[in-house]
Amino acid sequence: MCNRELEQLVTIKEVAKLAGVAVSTASNALNGKYGVKASTQKKVQEAAKKLNYIPNPYAQGLVKHNNRIISMVLSGPNSMNFITNPAFEEIIKSVTRTLNRHGYQAMLNMISSDEEEEAIVKLAQSQISNALILITTRTPDDILERILEKISIPSVVLIRNALNKDIASISLDNKDCGYKATKYLIENGHRRIAFIGELPGVSIAEERLAGYRQALVEANIEFDPSYVIPADYYQESGLIGVRQLLRQCSHKPTAIFAGNDIVALGVMEGIVQEGLSIPDDISLIGHDNIPNLHLLKVSLTTIASPYVELGRLAAHKVMGMIEGNDQTPIHTVMQSEIRVRSSVKSI
Amino acid sequence: MCNRELEQLVTIKEVAKLAGVAVSTASNALNGKYGVKASTQKKVQEAAKKLNYIPNPYAQGLVKHNNRIISMVLSGPNSMNFITNPAFEEIIKSVTRTLNRHGYQAMLNMISSDEEEEAIVKLAQSQISNALILITTRTPDDILERILEKISIPSVVLIRNALNKDIASISLDNKDCGYKATKYLIENGHRRIAFIGELPGVSIAEERLAGYRQALVEANIEFDPSYVIPADYYQESGLIGVRQLLRQCSHKPTAIFAGNDIVALGVMEGIVQEGLSIPDDISLIGHDNIPNLHLLKVSLTTIASPYVELGRLAAHKVMGMIEGNDQTPIHTVMQSEIRVRSSVKSI
DNA sequence: CTGAAAGCGCTTACAG
DNA sequence: CTGAAAGCGCTTACAG
C-alpha cells in the first residue's frame, strides 16, 4: 500500500559522497554556478544521474524563497462544486499545462467568496506557493486592491478590467464583447433586445452591459431598463432571469444577450419551459464559446474568447514575475470574436 | 507589483520571543504537545495570533515528512488541453474542495500518456506531494503496478477495476454500467445494438463491453462483432466510430451504446452528418451524466455515475493513508444508475 | 577551484 | 514543565 520506508530518499549528500566532493561543491555543480571545474561538474552530474537524484523542492524553497508552485485561486459560493463554467476549466487546464511544461507546479485553491480576503491573505502568507492567479474573484476593486497590497507574493488577476495600475491583469475586452453581441442582434433586425447578466460591482458584467448600451445608442434604440435583468453568471440565474424578464416587460423582447454561455443555457431552459422557441420567438446570443454549443437544441451563437491563450499568458506572466524577468505589460486585454450559429433569427 | 520585501515573514522565532519562551516550547505549545503548562500555551497562542503567525508548511514538511499536498495526476494525449471530459472535472473539483476543507492542498499535474511512467515516478520522488491520486491513467495494469511499487508515497487509482490487491482504488461497477445501458435498450425492443467504445487494455472499456455482452446473452441476442467499434473515449472518436459503424455493418443497428457521454456527443454529430435522426433512426445511450445533457438536440439518456462522491472518497482515503489512519477498504466500487431522457425510442 | 560553516523555519529527542 | 541542541535537505557567502 504505502512502502514509505522501502526506498531511501537520495539527497545531495549521497551525490556528493559518490562524486567524492563536498556537499557545497555538489550543489554548485548541479546548479551550474561559475567556478566549478568542468571535470568536477561532470563527476557530480554523473553521480546524480546514477543515483536518480531529485532535489527536494521545499528544502530549496526554504533557502531560495522559490518553490516553483503557483496557486490558481477559484472563489465561488460556498457549495460543493461551484465552478461550473467550462470557460474557467479551460483556463485552469491551460495554466496548469503551461506551468508543468516549464517545471512549475500548479495548485488549485477553491475558496468561498464570503471569506475571500481572509483566505487569500492566509494563502499568500503561508508561503505555500510563490504566486497567485486569481481566476474567478468578484471582490470589488478597492477591496481586492487592499488584499493584494497586503500580500507579498506576485499575483495576476484574470478577466477583470478597471483594476489599478499596479495590479497585473489579463482580461477580455468585455465592453467590446457586449457591443459585438448586441450589434449582431441589431444587424439582424432586432430592436427589443434584453440583457440578462446585470451584476453591479462585477467588472465583466458592468462592461458587457456598457457595450450593450453603446450598441443600442449607436443604433438609436432607446434604452429600456426593464430589459436589463440581473444574473449571477451561474446557470440557474439564466432560468430565473428569463422568467423575470417575460413577466416584467411590457413588450416581449425579440432577442436576448446572455452574460455568458451558461446563463444562456439557463435562458434556453426557461424559454422552453415557457413554451416559446428559439430563435422563432426569441433570439439568443451568449458569451464564452464553451464546448459543444453546436449540439444544443438550438446551436448557440456566441462571443468566443481566447481562454486557452489567456491561461498561457497568465502562466508565463507569473513565472516571469517570480523570476524577476517579466517583460509583458502589466495589463493585457484580449480580443473576442463572434461565432455565428443558429440561435439568432434575422427579422 | 510585487512587494516581496515590504512585509517581513513572521516565524516561530518571533512568536517565541513575544511570548517570552524558547522556540521549542513555542512549537510544542502551538502543536498541542503534552507537557506544556496551560498558561504557557495560552501565552504562545496569543502571541501567534497577535503576530498573525502561519507556520511555513515546507519547513514543517522537511522535518515531519508531511506537507499536506496531494497531487491529482491527469494523463492524456500530448496536446494542449487533453482533459475534455467534464466527468473528470467534477472529480477534480470534488477532490480539491474536500482536501481544502481539511487543510490539505491539491496540486494538478497534467502529464503525457506516453511518458507516464517517468513522470509519475519523478513526481513521487520529488517529494513535492505526499500522495498521488491517479485520475485518468490508462497504463496497463501490470505496468501501473510496477510504477506504483517503485514509488514511496501513498496513491489511489480512480475508475479502474481489476487492479491487484495492494493498489488502492475507487471505481465504478463498469460492467454493471454496460449491462444496465444495454439492458435498457433491449427492454425498449432493440436487438441490433452497437457498442462504440472498445479500447483493449483499458479497464472501463473492457468492463463496459463485458456488461454489454452479458445483457445480450441474457436476452438471447447473438453477439455481432461488426457492432463493436473502437473509440478512445474522447469526443472525436464517437464521430469517427459511428461513421465506421454505418459503413461496415450489414444491418444498420437500431441503437448505440456509447462508451461515455462525450463519445455519445461525437456519435450524435456523426448521426446528424449522415442525415439520420435520433432516436427515430437510431437510439443512443451514453455514460457519465455530464452536465446539460437535457439541453442537447436530443436530450441524452445515460448512465449516471457518482463522480462528486467518488472524488470525496478519494480525498478522504489519501488523507487517511498519509495520516496512517485510513480505515476504508482498499477497493471501493460505486454503483451507477440510469437517467432516462429521450434519446432512446421504444420500438 | 573547493570545502567548512552558517542558516532557511521548523520539530524532535533529550537534559535539566 | 522548559530550553539548548541537533537535524530535515538544501544554498550561499566566505576562507583557503
| Contact flag A110-B94 (C-beta cutoff 8 Å) | no
Q: Which of A104-118, A235-249, A324-338, B76-90 has the lowest mean pLDDT?
A: B76-90
Distances from the Cα of A1 to the Cαs of A202, A342, B150, B268, B270, in angstroms? 48, 54, 11, 42, 44
Distances from the Cα of A151 to the Cαs of A119, B9, B248, in angstroms? 11, 11, 63
Q: Measuring CA to CA, which residue among A345, A223, A343 is closest to residue A287?
A: A343
Is residue B319 less than 8 Å (CB to CB) from chain A? no
Give distance CA A36 / C1' C1 (Å): 6
Q: Which pLDDT belongs to residue B323?
A: 87
Cα B53 to Cα B57: distance, rounded to the nearest angstrom: 12
Q: Hey, which residues 119-158 in chain B have their CB within 8 Å of chain A? A: 122, 125-128, 149-150, 152-154
A286 φ, ψ (degrees, to nearest 5): -115, -160
3-state secondary structure of A215: helix
Q: Which of residues 9-48 of A touch strand D (CB under 7 A)?
A: 9, 11-13, 23-24, 27-28, 30-31, 33
Per DSSP, what are the bridge partners of residue B255?
Answer: B193, B283
- Give the mutation candidate from A292, A308, A342 for the B interface (greatest B CB count, under 10 A): A292
Is the separation of the CB atoms in B52 and B113 below 8 Å? no
Across the range B41-47, mean pLDDT stands at 91
Is the separation of the CB atoms in A296 and B297 below 8 Å? yes
Give the nearest chain A residue to B331 (CA atoms). A1
| B156 or A5, higher pLDDT | B156
Is strand D in 7 Å reach of the CB of B21? yes
Residue A330: pLDDT over 50: yes
Distances from the Cα of B12 to the Cαs of A41, B17, B61, B73, B108, in angstroms? 38, 9, 15, 34, 30
Cβ-based neighbours of A37, under 8 Å, separated by 6 or more: none
**At CB < 8 A and 24+ separation, what contacts does A39-46 make?**
A43/A19, A44/A15, A44/A16, A44/A19, A46/A19
pLDDT per residue over B144-202, tens digit each? Answer: 999 998 888 999 999 998 678 889 999 999 999 999 999 999 999 999 999 999 999 99
Per DSSP, what are the bridge partners of residue A56?
Answer: none
Which pLDDT band, with edges at 50, 70 and 90, does A5 fall under? Answer: very low
Cα B312 to Cα B331: distance, rounded to the nearest angstrom: 15
Residue A93: pLDDT over 80: yes
Residue nearest to nucleotide C7 (CA to C1'): A63
Which pLDDT band, with edges at 50, 70 and 90, does B97 fall under? Answer: very high
pLDDT per residue over B213-238, tens digit each? Answer: 999 999 999 999 999 999 999 999 99
Which chain B positions have a beta carbon within 8 Å of A81's beta carbon?
Answer: 90, 93-94, 97, 308
| Contact flag A168-B100 (C-beta cutoff 8 Å) | no
First to last CA, chain A: 66
Kindly state the helix (H) or strand (E) to which residue A319 belongs, with its residue range: helix A307-323
| B25 or A161, higher pLDDT | B25
Which chain B positions have a beta carbon within 8 Å of A62's beta carbon?
Answer: 56, 58-59, 62
Residue A62: pLDDT over 90: no
| B261 or A152, higher pLDDT | B261
Q: Nearest CA to CA, how far is A193 from chain B (Å)?
A: 23
Cα A282 to Cα A299: distance, rounded to the nearest angstrom: 14
- How many contacts (CB atoms, under 8 Å) link A and B? 161
Positions in chain D where some atom is under 7 Å from a protein CB? 1-13
Q: Which pLDDT belongs to residue A162?
A: 67
Is the separation of the CB atoms in B238 and B274 below 8 Å? no
Which chain A positions have a beta carbon within 8 Å of B106's beta carbon?
Answer: 107-109
B65 φ, ψ (degrees, to nearest 5): 55, 40
Cα A26 to Cα A30: distance, rounded to the nearest angstrom: 6
DSSP 8-class letter at A232 = -
The proportion of chain A whose per-residue pLDDT surpasses 70, expressed as a percent, equals 96
Per DSSP, what are the bridge partners of residue A339?
Answer: A302
Is strand D in 7 Å reach of the CB of B25? yes
Provide the residue type at B340 as one letter: V
Give the nearest chain A residue to B75 (CA atoms). A97
Positions in chain C where some atom is under 7 Å from a protein CB? 1-13
Cα B310 to Cα B319: distance, rounded to the nearest angstrom: 14
Is the separation of the CB atoms in B305 and B172 below 8 Å? yes
pTM for this model (two decimals):
0.93
Does the N-terminal peptide bond of residue A279 adopt cis geometry, omega within 30 degrees of 0?
yes
SS3 labels along chain B? CCCCCCCCCCCHHHHHHHHCCCHHHHHHHHCCCCCCCHHHHHHHHHHHHHHCCCCCHHHHHHHHCCCCEEEEEEEECCCCCCCCCHHHHHHHHHHHHHHHHCCCEEEEEEEEHHHHHHHHHHHHHCCCCCEEEECCCCCCHHHHHHHHHHCCCCEEEECCCCCCCCCEEEEECHHHHHHHHHHHHHHCCCCCEEEEEECCCCHHHHHHHHHHHHHHHHCCCCCCHHHEEECCCCHHHHHHHHHHHHHHCCCCCCEEEECCHHHHHHHHHHHHHCCCCCCCCCEEEEEECCCCHHHECCCCEEEECCHHHHHHHHHHHHHHHHHCCCCCCCEEEECCEEECCCCCCCC
Q: Nearest CA to CA, how far is A55 from chain B (Å)?
A: 7
Antiparallel, parallel or unpaired: β B193-198 and B228-230: parallel
Is residue A54 less than 8 Å (CB to CB) from chain B? yes
User: Which nucleotide has the least CA–C1' distance to A8?
Assistant: D9
Sign of CA dihedral A155, A156, A160, A164: positive
Cα A183 to Cα A176: distance, rounded to the nearest angstrom: 10
- Cell 456566441: give the residue: A302
Residue in B5, B89, B269 nearest the CB of A89? B89
Q: Which of A125-134, A174-183, B277-286 has the lowest mean pLDDT?
A: A125-134
Is strand C in 7 Å reach of the CB of A21? yes
Cα A75 to Cα A108: distance, rounded to the nearest angstrom: 11
Across the range B285-295, mean pLDDT stands at 97
Residue in A96, A149, A296 nearest the CB of B108? A96
A227 φ, ψ (degrees, to nearest 5): -95, 0
Mean of pLDDT over chain A:
92
Cβ-based neighbours of B17, under 8 Å, separated by 6 or more: none
Residue B3: pLDDT over 80: no
Which pLDDT band, with edges at 50, 70 and 90, does A2 fall under? Answer: very low
Residue A169, C-alpha cell as written in the block: 491583469
Sign of CA dihedral B56, B59, B64, B68: positive
The proportion of chain A whose per-residue pLDDT surpasses 90, expressed as a percent, equals 74
